[in-house]
Amino acid sequence: MGTRVVGIDLGKRRIGVSVSDSQRVLATPYSVITRSGDTSADRRAIAALVSEFGAGLVVVGLPLTLAGDRGPAASAAVAEASALETELDVPVVLHDERLTTVEADRRRRLPPDPVGAGGGERARSQARQARQARPSTAWRARRVGIDAVAATVLLQSWLDQNRGNS
DSSP 33-53: EEP-S-HHHHHHHHHHHHHHH
Strands 5-10 and 57-62: parallel
More confident residue, 103 or 46: 46
- Which residue from 112, 107, 134 is spatially nearest to 123, judged by alpha carbons? 112
pLDDT number for residue 141? 45
| Cβ atoms 106, 152 nearer than 8 A | no
Does 33 have pLDDT greater than 90?
Answer: yes
pLDDT number for residue 97? 87
pLDDT number for residue 65? 83
More confident residue, 107 or 151: 151
Angle at 125 between CA 121 and CA 126, to 5 degrees: 120
pTM for the structure as a whole: 0.76
For residues 121 and 125, what is the distance between their CA atoms, to the nearest angstrom? 6
Q: Where are the domains of the chain?
A: 5-103+137-161
**CATH number at 5-103+137-161:** 3.30.420.140
Q: What is the mean pLDDT of residues 115-140?
A: 50
For residues 25 and 48, what is the distance between their CA atoms, to the nearest angstrom? 23
